Chains A and B, each alone.
Chain A
Amino acid sequence: EDQVTQSPEALRLQEGESSSLNCSYTVSGLRGLFWYRQDPGKGPEFLFTLYSAGEEKEKERLKATLTKKESFLHITAPKPEDSATYLCAGVNNTDKLIFGTGTRLQVFP
């Protein structure tokens, strides 16, 4: 069964304290690994797509990386406005997007 598992469930960081969020996946015929950001009361907002092991993508303080079993979202020197839930999702070989349960990030000034 296709599965995406994210850890930790929640993460509290001081402003400027870098860290990483983990996404482990078992997705048949992975056709893409997506990262989304979700703010309270809003829909998920697209951040990155990764397609193959070794690929990396960056946007401001965020960098996403992909291996054959995991993806990481690295947050460098986070700011309070980075506080949100970060969702990871994999597209399987029937073109279905399988989401993890997310990591709730809180960044304190």
Chain B
Amino acid sequence: GAGVSQSPRYKVAKRGQDVALRCDPISGHVSLFWYQQALGQGPEFLTYFQNEAQLDKSGLPSDRFFAERPEGSVSTLKIQRTQQEDSAVYLCASSLDGTLGNSPLHFGNGTRLTVT
């Protein structure tokens, strides 16, 4: 596709449920990032893949958060036993090469997660 695609656009989960958020990056983009954006805040880094390798997961808030990109294309962010503080917009972004300074991130429109 022409841009980064994320699904679902909206997800409502009851506290304690598991959720899975999907990201389809731009075809051919090597790097894939997940960000969390709270209302009125800038995006905050969660994790980063280069092809299928997860090179940095330092931003994942707890071990309930898990991300994978098994074939170096589509990625899934999974949140287990959701809590109310997990409510946010989850943004996926991809870039052409592995060095952020060289090529900008292209973002999807996000998944808005609401935990009730």
Q: Name A's B-contacting residues (CB within 8 A).
A: 4, 31-32, 34, 36, 41-46, 49, 51, 87, 89, 91, 94-102
Contacts and interface: CB of A to CB of B under 8 A. Distances in A.
Contacts of A51: 101
Contacts of A41: 109
Contact of B106 (A46, A89, A94, A101): A46
B65 interface: no
Nearest to B59: A96
B104 A101 contact: no
Contacts of B107: 36, 43-45
A102 B106 CA distance: 17
19 contacts: A31-B100, A31-B101, A36-B107, A41-B109, A43-B91, A43-B93, A43-B108, A44-B91, A46-B106, A49-B104, A91-B101, A95-B101, A96-B56, A97-B33, A97-B105, A98-B45, A101-B40, A101-B42, A102-B42
B41 interface: yes
Interface of B: 4, 33, 40-45, 56, 91, 93, 99-102, 104-110
B42 A99 contact: yes
Contact of B109 (A34, A42, A91): A42
Contacts of B100: 31-32, 91, 95-97
